[in-house]
Structure 1
Amino acid sequence: MTPPWPVLVSFATHMDRDGPVQGHMRYYKQIPIEGTEAEPPTTRAEQAKFFCPIELKHLRTLTQKGSTITPRVLDSKEDKQDNTGFVPGGFVTWVVWEVVPGLQLGNDVGSAPFWGLGRDERDAVRQAFQESICKLEIWGHLPYPEHAKNLVWDSTTGSLYYVGFLLTCKGDPRAVWSPAKWAGWGLAKPPRGCRDWDKSTEGWEL
């Protein structure tokens, strides 16, 4: 089956008991196997599959656990395409999650937004990260890639959020804290040539 990539990303406004909440919405829809797009609907219907997006699965679990370090799932709908769909009976899924407040600490090319903060605030980010990362490991899944682009820092509350669960990597419940995690996520810079954590941050750029 052709990978069921999300086909639409947009903003949505969700109403809850506290009033309007800004959210992101992603829309997944099964598409036909390449080369079968012109086949009769009955033939394409044979490709119909059930699919639960990874981000829905994990954000839903984290929301149920009462996580305050990841976005809440605001709404979702899992449905099937009708007889006029690309794949009759195939999956179509909507996922809506909240927009968390703050500064995204990285992008596809690095963690420049993080390094643009003052030293005291960078220290606060690292402290919040140290206090939360192992909790996320225990809960089972981390956003992929493990980097600053998947971190959002709210300086007004001192809150650090983990975002970007379109792709995930498995957490390790036995994980223990190490400053090497700072470096892995782009929150610290070991000296050039320092390839392994040697139990000392001497010479690191913090």
Structure 2
Amino acid sequence: MGVGSPMTVGKFLCHLEDPTQIAFMRIYYQIPITRTEDANLATLAQQIQPHEVCGELEAFRLLMSQGCSSVPRFLGYCEKTQGEHDLVPGGYVKYLVWEKVPGEPLTEEFFWSLDPLVREDIRAKFRVAFESVYANPRWQVDKTLIQLTGRCCVAV
């Protein structure tokens, strides 16, 4: 249908060798098309997608190459092929790791639980930051990049 392969995505809080170095790891794992989970290997092999560039990885690379200091530090990326006993033999598994910055994620639930004045203050700060980045031709920001990196944190 032209929308890419089915996948499951997990985000995990982890640490590097030093337990004080907290990071996030996101895993993208290709899964079989619905109702083909028990299909033979030949059918599952037809579902293998060519390796595509991970949009999140490209966003991190672009922002870091431009010296952007308002995104977490990118720590690593790995792409593997599923083994013969996995859900889609030959399918992809992608891992991205980035540092966890101080603060609390600004989830929809968290945002709407805040006092209206606090929410308006957050909106105002976001507008200022967005307009300064968007107005700076050095960043060459486009809608795709904003969608890829549109995660926000607010210090508590």
SS at 1:42's partner residue?
helix
**For 1:55 and 1:9, how far apart are their aligned partners in 2?**
13
Correspondence for 2:108: 107
Correspondence for 2:79: 78
SS at 2:89's partner residue?
coil
Displacement of 1:54 in angstroms is 2.1
Displacement of 1:78 in angstroms is 0.6
Q: CA-to-partner distance for each residue in 1:31-75, whole Å, 9 max, x for gaps? A: 112222212223312221124432222123222333211222211
Q: Say yes or no: does 1:35 pair with 2:13.
A: no
SS at 1:47's partner residue?
coil
| Root-mean-square deviation over aligned CA pairs | 3.6
**For 2:119 and 2:146, how far apart are their aligned partners in 1?**
27
Q: CA-to-partner distance for each residue in 1:70-98, whole Å, 9 max, x for gaps? A: 22221110110111111111111111112
Larger radius of gyration, structure 1 or 2? 1
CA contact (8 A) 1:60 1:72 kept: no
- Structure 2-normalised TM-score? 0.71
**For 2:44 and 2:122, how far apart are their aligned partners in 1?**
55
CA contact (8 A) 1:51 1:91 kept: no
Higher mean C-alpha displacement, 26-35 vs 128-137: 128-137
Assess, with a 3 A threshold, how the Cα gap between structure 1 residues 124 and 97 changes in structure 2: closer, same or farther. same
Larger helix share, 1 or 2: 2
Pairs within 5 Å for 1:130-149? 130-135=131-136, 138-140=140-142, 141-143=145-147
Assess, with a 3 A threshold, how the Cα gap between structure 1 residues 64 and 113 changes in structure 2: closer, same or farther. farther
Q: Which runs of 5+ in 1 are unaligned?
A: 156-206
CA contact (8 A) 1:6 1:26 kept: no
Of 8, 11, 24, 2:10 maps to 8
CA contact (8 A) 2:30 2:88 kept: yes
Assess, with a 3 A threshold, how the Cα gap between structure 1 residues 4 and 61 changes in structure 2: closer, same or farther. farther
- Tell me: higher relative CO, structure 1 or 2? Use CA pairs within 8 A at least 6 residues apart: 2
**For 2:22 and 2:29, how far apart are their aligned partners in 1?**
23
CA contact (8 A) 2:74 2:99 kept: yes
Q: Which runs of 5+ in 2 are unaligned?
A: none
**For 2:17 and 2:132, how far apart are their aligned partners in 1?**
31
Pairs within 5 Å for 1:53-64? 53-64=54-65
**For 1:106 and 1:35, how far apart are their aligned partners in 2?**
33
How many percent identity over aligned positions? Answer: 29
What amino acid does structure 1 have at the position aligned with 2:10? L
**For 1:66 and 1:118, how far apart are their aligned partners in 2?**
29
Q: How many residues align?
A: 150
Assess, with a 3 A threshold, how the Cα gap between structure 1 residues 66 and 111 changes in structure 2: closer, same or farther. farther
Pairs within 5 Å for 1:144-159? 150-154=151-155
CA contact (8 A) 1:105 1:111 kept: no
